Amino acid sequence: MEIDKLKRVIRRNTLIDGSRRENGAEHSWHVGMLAMTMGEHAPPGTDLERVVAMLLVHDIVEIDTGDCFRHDIPRDTRPDFQQDTPEPDTLAAAARIFALLPHDQGIRLRALWDEFEERRTPEARFAKALDRLAPVLANHNNEGGTWALYKVTARHLADSVRIIREGSTTLGAYAAELVESSVARGHLAP
């Protein structure tokens, strides 16, 4: 019953057609499907079932925290900010939500969530790459979509492209091409 609440978490990113903002459950489903269809771009030996499992649980904490939009925190004002370090409220949400499950399930799913957050395995790095690629794909195919609305620039996306490249060299190169193309088309500020 608790995870149904993820359907009510409205994200800042829109659907590719721009008709409305997506919800957290739609995003998790979409990146899970990306894993299944783009698995050939994963490093050799990557366990794609584990990647899909991580992607299904990666944003579950947003039931408590809301959409964690990484462009909200100005990098200039927080030089110590590490983009992928969970904030205390995120860790508290994970503790609460995973504790609702039977103990063995809670431990297993929390371990997947932690692995994703820490990017310590090829599966986690590939999952994180897909999570970062999804909004790049949407905004590139939506004439800049939410990039203009939130004043996101190509410079802001450099960290996302780096994380995508760490998970998949081919998808990282593709993401860099999409960013360059979006700048060239005037849909993304440099």
5-50 per-position pLDDT tens digit: 999 999 998 998 889 999 999 999 999 999 999 999 999 999 999 9
Domains of the chain: 2-69+82-184 (1.10.3210.10)
47-100 per-position pLDDT tens digit: 999 999 999 999 999 999 988 765 544 444 433 334 456 788 999 999 999 999
- What does the alpha-carbon distance between residue 117 and residue 163 come to, in Å, rounded to a whole number? 12
Question: Tokens 């299904």 sit at which residue?
Answer: 56
Cα distances (angstroms) measured from residue 23 to each of 20, 44, 83, 122, 124: 9, 32, 22, 27, 22
Q: Is 45 left (phi over 0), alpha (psi -120 to 50) or beta?
A: left
